[in-house]
Structure 1
Amino acid sequence: MFKNKTIFVTGGTGSWGHELVKQLLSYEPKEIRIFSRNETSQFSMKQEFDNNPKLKFLIGDIKEKDPLIEACHSVDYLFHLAALKHVPVCEDQPTEALKTNVIGTQNVIEAAQKNNIKKVIYISTDKASDPSNFYGLSKAMGERLIIHANTLNTNTRFVCVRGGNVLGTNGSVIHVFKKNIREKKKVGITDLNMTRFFLTVEDAIKLVFKATFESVGGEIFVMKMPACRIVDLAKVLIKASNEKNVDIEVLGVRPGEKIHELLLTKYESSTTIVYDQEYFVILPSVNMNGIKEHYANYKFVTLEDYNSGTNLLNEDEINEMLMKGGFI
């Protein structure tokens, strides 16, 4: 699918972008264009990939439509990763989150249409499911724009992939906890009952590719992911650190935070099918040619919702997951 093709990655210098580019190179593409705002991150990534001639780094911002359209010339596939992602930042500066996560996504859609790109893959988040904060709300709006784009007069297909937290990404709780264990001998937990979905970045990208290869356009692919209590994650990291007398402090839930995250809401479950052992697929509520027929032989989910408070990993399983990801 990607052999001798030109691929465009927005926000490609982040943790997801690094792993995406790494795995994309194995498919022998013609060129991968990495589009982001941070020249320092681009320089570091260029060095990390040994100045690979297939990688082309472009400074740009998805908020600026015309340069984005120009940068997407002759592109075959587009992965849209660029976003403001931190919940407190989006709560404090909602206008910036709106401009990047919503208007920026609409600019990506228009750039893809103008350049007749074959497929756009939008990376979404569990926080877009029944959003309780501005980050989640802005990503939910991005999902709606991406799905609706399939109803427009275009040959480009648009698909969403929704997942939970990816272990070890920039600003990840893993890095925060390890730093606090080492430097402060203390870990702050917002609530002892708080749970989250987790997956390694390597596994997350593999699932993104699966959705890319198998989607027809108009779906939201929902990753099935293990979940755990944050306090149990902290306990495993404390134990693995061999540090003594590390305290766990309860800080209280921050504005916009949920105790349990949702990957699938009660409302969405009515239009969701069980795709396989790794994915649910939310079918669009608006009419799109052929999509319901394509999934006609799949069974609808029997779940009321899919939240992070059920089927939790125990501490041994968390330890195994962290060892697999290279975090302990």
Structure 2
Amino acid sequence: MIGNSVLITGGTGSFGNKFVETILDRYPDVKRLVIYSRDEMKQFRMSQKFSKEDYPCLRYFIGDVRDEKRLKRACEGIDTIIHAAALKQVPAAEYNPMEAIKTNVLGAENVINAAMDCGVKKVVALSTDKAAAPINLYGATKLCSDKLFIAANNMKGKRDLTFNVVRYGNVMGSRGSVMPFFIEKREEGILPITDKRMTRFNISLQDGVDLVMYALEHGWGGELFVPKIPSYKITDLAEAIGPNCEHKEVGIRPGEKIHEEMITAPDSFNTVDLGKYYAILPTKPVWDKEKFIDHFDAEFVEPGFTYNSGENDEWETVESLREKIKKYVDSTFSVNGQTK
């Protein structure tokens, strides 16, 4: 399913660490697993956790997806690429727009070219809920990236190569997310909340990795896979982490939405329900759409259907969030706010 040689861009991030852990556990016979990223310190720290002595298949490559020559060199002999590299901080992208474009859009193009030039078989790119009807530059660049990877299936010619995209919401406990931020802030007794009406989708790192594995195994090329995951209210998250803290409303940040969306109404005309996941199908697939529906026993969603964190059918509670925080957040913190 994954091939003998796998490369993950942005491999030292939260997703990369969990992905590498999963591959080493489920596919111990993998021949080569390349962690490609630009931060040597993160690579050093990751190599302490996953050493080449314990896992001879591992390779740590310093490189940036902006650097097409270096990326192609790293992709020589690679069967599968997982593209997780991105500049994803919304305020930083607003302030440094061209830097976000160079990494998130031009970097995506470099990954596509490297895959086609190096004989890669499968590519799965990570997207974000902010790419659906984007209102900030980060979301806009990721929407461009999604379109590039989907369209690449029409450019591959006769190559045995598929490109797919996975899109999901906030990852519980990942670096830079609201959960670790609240855990740090509760020591001060005040949790800053941008807007008390705010809701977000919620997914664990492992569920995000499993979605990528599903796309690798089942993708025909061009589908954008979306998981069915719960939402939470930002006020419930604050209550779960800091029940004794003051919850101070500070105002919405530039580029933020009150509710996130992963499938828009215009998307509905090409969206199918696969059971555990949705898939937004390409408007001009390189395969027969009816055969796809029959193969997966899929059903088209109703026209006008949307998948929105504020109108979700499944919700986290304060209690369920508390339990998941115990499981997914850095073990140096306890739910009661005491540092271990």
Q: TM-score range by the shorter chain?
A: over 0.9
State the alpha-carbon separation in 2 of the partners of residues 292 and 173 from structure 1: 42
State the alpha-carbon separation in 2 of the partners of residues 291 and 270 from structure 1: 13
* Match runs of 1:161-176 below 5 Å: 161-176=166-181
Question: What is the aligned partner in structure 1 of residue 338 from structure 2?
Answer: none
Between stretches 111-120 and 202-211, larger displacement belongs to 202-211
Q: Any idea what the Cα deviations from partners look like across 1:217-268, whole Å, max 9, x if unmatched?
A: 11000111110111110111013xxxx4x21110111111000000100010
User: Would the aligned equivalents of 1:84 and 1:100 in 2 still touch at CA under 8 Å?
Assistant: yes
In structure 2, give the amino acid aligned to 1:285. T
What is the CA-CA distance between 1:292 and the residue it aligns to? 4.7
What is the CA-CA distance between 1:116 and the residue it aligns to? 1.3
Equivalent residue in structure 1 for 2:242, among 218, 238, 242: 238
State the alpha-carbon separation in 1 of the partners of residues 220 and 78 from structure 2: 19
2:130 is the alignment partner of 1:131 = no
Question: What is the aligned partner in structure 2 of residue 300 from structure 1?
Answer: 300
In structure 1, give the amino acid aligned to 2:317. N
User: Would the aligned equivalents of 1:34 and 1:55 in 2 still touch at CA under 8 Å?
Assistant: yes
Question: What is the aligned partner in structure 1 of residue 24 from structure 2?
Answer: 25
Question: What is the aligned partner in structure 1 of residue 320 from structure 2?
Answer: 317
Question: What is the aligned partner in structure 1 of residue 35 from structure 2?
Answer: 34
User: Would the aligned equivalents of 2:166 and 2:224 in 1 still touch at CA under 8 Å?
Assistant: yes
What is the CA-CA distance between 1:213 and the residue it aligns to? 0.7
Q: Any idea what the Cα deviations from partners look like across 1:84-127, whole Å, max 9, x if unmatched?
A: 01111111111000000000000000000001100000011000
The answer for unaligned runs of 5 or more in structure 2 is: 336-340
* SS of residue matched to 2:78: coil
2:179 is the alignment partner of 1:195 = no
Question: What is the aligned partner in structure 2 of residue 264 from structure 1?
Answer: 263
Percent of residue pairs bearing the same amino acid type: 39
Detail structure 1 runs of 4+ shifted over 6 Å in the superposition: none
User: Would the aligned equivalents of 1:122 and 1:160 in 2 still touch at CA under 8 Å?
Assistant: yes
What is the CA-CA distance between 1:321 and the residue it aligns to? 2.7
Q: Any idea what the Cα deviations from partners look like across 1:264-310, whole Å, max 9, x if unmatched?
A: 0001011100011x200000012423345322452111262000002
User: Would the aligned equivalents of 1:218 and 1:291 in 2 still touch at CA under 8 Å?
Assistant: no
* SS of residue matched to 1:181: helix
Q: Any idea what the Cα deviations from partners look like across 1:147-184, whole Å, max 9, x if unmatched?
A: 000001133100000000101111111111011101x2
CA spacing shift, 1:55–1:291, aligned 2, 3 Å: farther
- TM-score using structure 2 length: 0.91
Question: What is the aligned partner in structure 2 of residue 281 from structure 1?
Answer: 279
Equivalent residue in structure 2 for 1:149, among 141, 152, 162: 152
The answer for unaligned runs of 5 or more in structure 1 is: none
State the alpha-carbon separation in 2 of the partners of residues 226 and 116 from structure 1: 38
Question: What is the aligned partner in structure 2 of residue 56 from structure 1?
Answer: 59
In structure 2, give the amino acid aligned to 1:95. M
User: Would the aligned equivalents of 1:129 and 1:265 in 2 still touch at CA under 8 Å?
Assistant: yes
Question: What is the aligned partner in structure 2 of residue 207 from structure 1?
Answer: 211
- TM-score using structure 1 length: 0.94
State the alpha-carbon separation in 2 of the partners of residues 260 and 130 from structure 1: 12
Q: Any idea what the Cα deviations from partners look like across 1:173-200, whole Å, max 9, x if unmatched?
A: 1111011101x21110000000000111
State the alpha-carbon separation in 2 of the partners of residues 290 and 157 from structure 1: 15
How well do the aligned residues superpose, as a CA RMSD in angstroms?
A: 1.4
* SS of residue matched to 2:220: coil
CA spacing shift, 1:156–1:306, aligned 2, 3 Å: same
User: Would the aligned equivalents of 1:199 and 1:225 in 2 still touch at CA under 8 Å?
Assistant: yes
User: Would the aligned equivalents of 1:119 and 1:158 in 2 still touch at CA under 8 Å?
Assistant: yes
What is the CA-CA distance between 1:326 and the residue it aligns to? 4.7
